[in-house]
């Protein structure tokens, strides 16, 4: 099933850890172009690059992307795509997929999956993805966001800590417990247009600030996030120069 959905790619130049990140070279193309091409391959009704920087705008338009200029004051990618949705008068149940501009390896099929998950689950306000954690190092890494869900696939909580807690620490040494109990969150979201505007107007909450995880604001306020599992680890996002070097190696290795 593929129904109509929009993809909006927030991309800002002034990253604290990696200024100019969307324009970083990956196999001869700017990173934002890799992200855009994957989004186009998803069959989205429309793909839009959302930015506040004219350098990104020019590069994106040069490779044929639709670009929407947004405010410089946004604190998050969610706020940026919400502005785009308002500019394009997206309302009601229109499905909007937020594909981060630093995810050059995110495959089109995952974009399709998260969009269809939202379309197929009318009780959900948002949808996202997760995959099983396969190593103890990954489990204990605070940069790997752990997710836990109920029997119907709706998110219960997200944390940088290993959740659920296992009282008998020896159980952590078994791969079976890792694969069946622990899941890492994949940072792609689909929103219903009406809820996108609602959630950007919510005040930050204590658990969000403690974990530094924006999605906890949604759960804290009673929003429903549906999350489905993907089996394949597609790679990594780019937060640092080291990540960029790894991605270049992945793309250029036969």
Q: Find tokens 């196999």 and name the residue.
A: 27
Mean pLDDT of the chain: 90
Confidence at residue 176, expressed as pLDDT on a 0 to 100 scale: 58
Confidence at residue 245, expressed as pLDDT on a 0 to 100 scale: 87
Question: What does the pLDDT look like over 214-251, one tens digit per residue?
Answer: 999 999 999 999 999 998 777 778 878 888 888 888 88
Query: What is the per-residue burial (b if ≥16 Cβ within 10 Å, else e) of 40-59?
Result: bebebeebbbbbbbeebbeb
Q: State pTM to two decimals.
A: 0.91
How far is it between the farthest Cα atoms of the chain? 56
State the first-to-last Cα distance of the chain, in angstroms, to the nearest integer.
32
61: cis peptide before it, omega within 30°? no
- Strands 25-26 and 6-10: what pairing? unpaired
The residues spanned by each domain of the chain are: 6-249
The correct answer on CATH 3.50.70.10 for the domain covering 6-249 is no
Confidence at residue 119, expressed as pLDDT on a 0 to 100 scale: 95
Percent of the chain scored above 70 by pLDDT? 94
Confidence at residue 242, expressed as pLDDT on a 0 to 100 scale: 87
User: Which of 71-80, 102-111, 175-184 reaches the highest mean pLDDT?
Assistant: 102-111
Question: What does the pLDDT look like over 142-177, one tens digit per residue?
Answer: 988 999 999 999 999 999 999 998 777 665 555 556
What stretches of the chain show up as alpha helix (H) in DSSP? 31-40, 54-62, 77-87, 108-120, 136-140, 175-181, 193-200, 206-211, 215-220, 241-252
């Amino acid at each position: 099933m593929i129904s109509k959905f929009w993809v909006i790619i927030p991309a800002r130049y002034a990253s604290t850890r990696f200024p100019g990140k969307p324009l970083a070279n990956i196999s001869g193309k700017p990173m934002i172009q890799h992200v855009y091409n994957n989004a186009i391959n998803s069959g989205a009704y429309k793909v839009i690059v959302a930015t506040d920087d004219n350098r990104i705008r020019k590069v994106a338009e040069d490779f044929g992307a639709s670009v929407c200029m947004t405010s410089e004051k946004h604190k998050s990618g969610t706020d940026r795509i919400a502005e785009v949705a308002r500019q394009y008068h997206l309302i009601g149940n229109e499905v909007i997929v937020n594909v981060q501009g630093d995810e050059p390896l995110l495959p089109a099929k995952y974009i399709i999956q998260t969009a269809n998950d939202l379309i197929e689950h009318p009780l959900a306000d948002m949808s996202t993805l997760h995959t099983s954690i396969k190593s103890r190092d990954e489990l204990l890494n605070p940069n790997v966001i752990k997710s836990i869900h109920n029997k119907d696939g709706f998110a219960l909580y997200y944390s940088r800590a290993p959740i659920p807690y296992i009282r008998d620490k020896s159980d952590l040494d078994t791969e079976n417990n890792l694969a069946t109990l622990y899941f890492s969150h994949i940072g792609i979201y689909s929103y219903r247009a009406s809820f996108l505007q609602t959630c950007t107007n919510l005040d930050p909450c204590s658990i969000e600030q403690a974990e530094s995880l924006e999605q906890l604001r949604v759960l804290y306020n009673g929003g429903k996030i549906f999350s489905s599992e993907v089996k394949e680890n597609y790679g990594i996002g780019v937060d640092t120069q080291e990540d960029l070097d790894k991605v270049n190696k992945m793309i250029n290795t036969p």
